[in-house]
Chain A
Amino acid sequence: MKRPWIGVFKFTSCDGCQLSVLNMEDELPDFVSLFQVAYFREAGDMPLRGRFDIALVEGSVSTGWQKAQIIEVRERTRHLVTIGACAAAGGLQALRNWADIEDYKRLVYPSPDMIETLPCSTPVSDHVYVDYELWGCPVNCDELSEMLGSFLLDRKPGIPAYSLCMECKRKGVPCLLVAKSEPCLGPVTRAGCGVLCPSMERPCYGCFGPKEGANIGSLLEAFRNAGFSSHECVLLLDKMNTYAFREAGTGEGRF
């Protein structure tokens, strides 16, 4: 059987999701024997050439040249899969979407005019058709290997779309929202992390982004009843998946 060609691409990101590929330590030998790793700049010198059966794309689109680059990746690829919150939702850097980019540039750079950047950081799906999105900040290695295995077997990945609450209940972790009135985003956040924060008695802060059909307005209402101001409620959503949470709430940028 011909091994499928895989490419790993980086846009605006911390590199943590492509590192997750290398963090599959036990599966890595299988990974490189089952796939032809044809492009993976962080791990090898292979030049960009040819077409890919599958591309893993990390990072958001935040510069003009990246807009052209993501179209090129799409054109070279049969199945485009995004990995992580930056690629699926614009990442933490999408906080600029609700601010003045010129302000941001001036704050960081002595010569802001030399910096070329877009006023918004956007998910890959805003630019090209995406075949599958793997959520998380960072992605979960088990989900990554499930997705890659499913690709080889030509089946749909068995990755849940329900909320973190389901995982939490199954693990028998006491509910921070109900028992302690803590601002836990579990009810509106995708499962996938393995209940990391609630297991540490810490409210979920939304690494895996909004689950499908999340009722964000209702959760914010509960937060407000517990004494959080409207501004504090927005800040709870304004993290790595700010763009997706705001969109899933009452529409882009409005609360």
Chain B
Amino acid sequence: MKRVFSIGYLSRVEGEAGITAEILDGKAVVRARVFEAPRFFEAFLRGRHFSDVADFTARICGICPVAYQMSSVHAMESIFGVEVEEPIRQLRRLLYCGEWIESHSLHIYMLQGPDFYGCESAWSDRQYLPLARRGLSFKKLGNQIMTILGGRPIHPVSVKAGGFFKIPDKKTLSGLLPDIERAYEQTLEAVSWAASLPFNDNDWDWECLSLRGPNEYPMNYGNVSSNKGAEKPMADFLEDVREYQVAYSTALHAEIKTEGPRPYLVGPVARLNLNHDLLPPEIKAAIRQCGIRLPMTNTHMGIIARSIELAYAFHEAVRIIKTYEMPGRPSACFEPRAGQAVWITEAPRGMLIHHYEIDGEGLVKRCAIIPPTSQNLGHMEKDLNHFMQMHMGEPANVLRKECEKIIRSYDPCISCSVH
């Protein structure tokens, strides 16, 4: 017997995608149909000056532009041999905290949260409104951090290879402290709210990858590390990855090609599982109190991982602002030179891989960009197949709803994945 159902256009995710599910003779095949129109960033970046790259790649995504700026400027600095001063590194981390806060609170409270309350949007049900307001108050602070550092939250204008065009003084940043300290307390409390949400059983053997910082929760630095034990410098990671095309998607998929091709998971669950020992004691205590077991074994618990990271991003923002001393100059001086480099940073949704080859004139010869959602698509399909296999007998409308929820728990960024 054959059963088929589909979702034409997923809601409450970034970008345009649907799914098609087929059950034939007791076997389920679910496909994530991505029909977002391609923009060909890797093509039109060729021949552009390296100084255009951070502004251009930011335009790949309105929700995570800082991630694109960070991966690209670090790649350029790696090619040109630029050393960035410590306060600049810290400011970049603070900018990233702003983006994690904005993106995570948007997803937790506006996009995925309504699933647990049976609402069609964050504002459709009066009962949900206090949660929506709470999310918006966090999101606003993330946007404020990005605005102080970058002029605006979407496509900030201050980032460049070598540092920033302009940096704020300590007094300006300190003005944020009362609000973000309060938000930290609130987000820490909200971890127990996230932990109390209901989840389907979904324990299976999966592989996850994230950066692992030597001594800090990863954002801009670290080695690529796997829950299966492997660890690699980011420069060598592309040797292990293969991008491939499927007929039903304008987004390329990625998989690990060594030792048998297989999909892998990136993002908050992966990061938390591989780096939870690096969290501050207060957050570790909150995790214990809520009865959250780490490493997480259920991929659908992204909202818990995201809530923990949201609290962490506020905690980290407070720490950076308190210890910040304004450096003498906003950016390092350097001369561009020919070369190539891979750099990976942790976008809100996971590892964002950039690879550039620059010529002697400082122009881009070739580039490749692998966003976290392209890496997650294969894993998401495997996860959906697994779910369908377990719940085959349920009516189509129930399965459809559950598939939507599973996809949302991944926080896919479809525009990124196509770019």
- Do these two chains interact? yes
Binds A, one of B25-33, B37-45, B69-77, B220-228: B37-45
Binds B, one of A5-13, A122-130, A162-170, A243-251: A5-13
User: Which secondary structure dominates chain B's binding surface?
Assistant: loop
Contacts of B136 in A (CB 8 A): 25, 28
6 closest A-B pairs by beta carbon, nearest first, are: A16-B62, A44-B121, A93-B39, A104-B43, A196-B151, A45-B120
Please report the C-alpha to C-alpha distance between residue A92 and residue B419 in the assembled complex, in whole angstroms: 11
Name the CB-closest residue of B to A205.
B55
Complex partner residue of B110 from A18, A22, A62, CB under 8 angstroms: A22
Q: Is the CB of B155 within 8 A of A138?
A: yes
Contacts of A46 in B (CB 8 A): 11, 120-121
Q: A44-B12, A66-B37 are in contact. List 6 more A-B contacts (CB 8 A).
A: A41-B10, A95-B44, A107-B40, A200-B166, A205-B55, A207-B155
Name the CB-closest residue of A to B158.
A200
Which residues in A have some Cβ–Cβ distance to B below 8 Å?
10-20, 22-23, 25-26, 28-29, 32, 37, 40-46, 62-63, 66, 91-93, 95-96, 99, 103-105, 107-111, 114-115, 117, 121, 137-138, 193, 196-197, 199-202, 205, 207, 235, 239-240
Docked complex: B122-178 residues within 8 A CB-CB of A: 122-124, 129, 133, 136-137, 139-140, 143, 151-155, 157-158, 165-166
Docked complex: B41-56 residues within 8 A CB-CB of A: 41-44, 46, 48-49, 52, 55-56
- Is B67 an interface residue, CB under 8 A from the partner? no
Binds A, one of B242-250, B283-291, B387-395: B242-250
Binds A, one of B13-21, B274-282, B345-353: B13-21
Identify 12 residue pairs between A and B in the complex whose beta-carbon atoms are under 8 Å apart, listed by A's number: A14-B65, A15-B61, A15-B62, A22-B106, A29-B133, A37-B123, A41-B12, A107-B46, A108-B43, A109-B245, A193-B152, A199-B151
Q: Is the CB of A43 within 8 A of B121?
A: yes
Given known A-B contacts A44-B11, A196-B151, A19 and B59 have beta carbons under 8 A apart? no
Name the CB-closest residue of B to A46.
B120
Q: Is the CB of A25 within 8 A of B157?
A: no
Complex partner residue of A99 from B39, B44, B65, B166, CB under 8 angstroms: B44
Contacts of A115 in B (CB 8 A): 38, 250
Name the CB-closest residue of A to B243.
A110
Instruction: Name the distance in Å between A7's Cβ and chain B's nearest Cβ.
Output: 13
Name the CB-closest residue of A to B416.
A14
Please report the C-alpha to C-alpha distance between residue A164 and residue B157 in the assembled complex, in whole angstroms: 16
Please report the C-alpha to C-alpha distance between residue A104 and residue B40 in the assembled complex, in whole angstroms: 6
- Is B403 an interface residue, CB under 8 A from the partner? no
Q: Is the CB of B166 within 8 A of A201?
A: yes
Q: Is the CB of A19 within 8 A of B62?
A: yes
Please report the C-alpha to C-alpha distance between residue A107 and residue B364 in the assembled complex, in whole angstroms: 14
Instruction: Name the distance in Å between B151's Cβ and chain A's nearest Cβ.
Output: 4
Contacts of B269 in A (CB 8 A): none
Complex partner residue of A103 from B43, B152, B250, CB under 8 angstroms: B43
Best-surrounded residue of B10, B59, B139, B158 (most CB of chain A within 10 A)? B59
- Is B60 an interface residue, CB under 8 A from the partner? yes
Name the CB-closest residue of A to B102.
A23
Name the CB-closest residue of B to A28.
B136
Complex partner residue of B12 from A11, A43, A91, CB under 8 angstroms: A43
Given known A-B contacts A14-B61, A202-B165, A20 and B154 have beta carbons under 8 A apart? yes
Contacts of B49 in A (CB 8 A): 235
Best-surrounded residue of B37, B106, B140 (most CB of chain A within 10 A)? B37
Please report the C-alpha to C-alpha distance between residue A19 and residue B146 in the assembled complex, in whole angstroms: 15
Instruction: Name the distance in Å between B252's Cβ and chain A's nearest Cβ.
Output: 7
Please report the C-alpha to C-alpha distance between residue A36 and residue B44 in the assembled complex, in whole angstroms: 40
Q: Is the CB of B154 within 8 A of A93?
A: no
Q: Is the CB of B157 within 8 A of A197?
A: yes
Instruction: Digitize B99-130: 1 where CB-to-A-CB distance is under 8 Å, 0 elsewhere.
Output: 00000001000110000000011111000010
Please report the C-alpha to C-alpha distance between residue A119 and residue B56 in the assembled complex, in whole angstroms: 20
Name the CB-closest residue of B to A14.
B62
Q: Is the CB of A43 within 8 A of B111?
A: yes
Contacts of B15 in A (CB 8 A): 10, 15
Contacts of B106 in A (CB 8 A): 19, 22
Best-surrounded residue of B36, B44, B165 (most CB of chain A within 10 A)? B44
Complex partner residue of A63 from B11, B37, B245, B252, CB under 8 angstroms: B37
Q: Is the CB of B12 within 8 A of A42?
A: yes
Best-surrounded residue of B56, B121, B139 (most CB of chain A within 10 A)? B121
Please report the C-alpha to C-alpha distance between residue A240 and residue B36 in the assembled complex, in whole angstroms: 19
Q: Is the CB of A10 within 8 A of B121?
A: no
Contacts of A201 in B (CB 8 A): 165-166
Q: Is the CB of A111 within 8 A of B245?
A: yes
